Amino acid sequence: MRRSLGWWLCGVLWLGWLGAAQAAAPKTVLVLGDSLSAAHNIPVEYGWVHLLDARLSNMVPKWTAVNASISGETSLSGRNRLPALLAKYRPAVLVLELGANDGLRGLPLPALRANLEAMIAQAQQAKVRVLLVGIELPVNYGPQYRDGLRAIYADLSRSHRTALVPFLLEGVALDPAKMQNDGLHPVASAEPQVLDTVWKSLLPLLH
């Protein structure tokens, strides 16, 4: 009888420890982006993804952000890297911020759409919620290409039922004081505003 009771107590304690350990393990937000998410030309700790990680760490239960963004990343290179990233980090949420470099290089829009769609499918097949982050190009790229690019994000979000940030640099891109000299990347002081833009659409995916 005492031995049975001892085993029962050990089992209860082990299950309690296991439950606490599982509850304490943070879920992961994986950010797959380009230089706009890789803290280009500013200290990493000022980038919006690093700021996101700090904000997530204060949540209950805790979350963490993994930044897999690389300057110069295209939708094709991101598509090629994503399967390994999903297997390694097993995220609950994928923030997909790609397309700017494709657009700047004039990639045909159907190719960009196909790459983004493939990444959304990869994530959703792995039961990962997706936040698709759109970008805008400078006006000299012409209205047809710019409008087509913008429509890709809206259409993919609607057809695949993802969350959407229409434009990552909303309220930032057209303010010279908030942009670096290249006119493409935010200064460090504007990164909290970029995070706030993402956060509005990300927060519902964390519950």
Q: Which residues are catalytic?
A: 35, 182, 185
Give Cβ neighbours of residue 16 (< 8 Å, ≥ 6 apart): none
Q: Map residue 163 onto helix, strand or coil.
A: strand
CB 185 within 8 A of CB 194: no
Residue 6 to residue 21: CA distance in whole angstroms: 22
What Å distances lie between residue 166 and 101, 138, 178, CA to CA?
17, 15, 19
Transcribe 6-67 into DSSP letters.
Answer: HHHHHHHHHHHHHHHHHHHSPEEEEEEE-TTTTTTTS-GGGSHHHHHHHHHTTSSS-EEEEE
Residue 100 to residue 44: CA distance in whole angstroms: 20
Residue 147 to residue 151: CA distance in whole angstroms: 6
Q: 196: number of CA atoms within 13 Å, CB side?
A: 8
CB 48 within 8 A of CB 34: no
Residue 138 to residue 64: CA distance in whole angstroms: 33
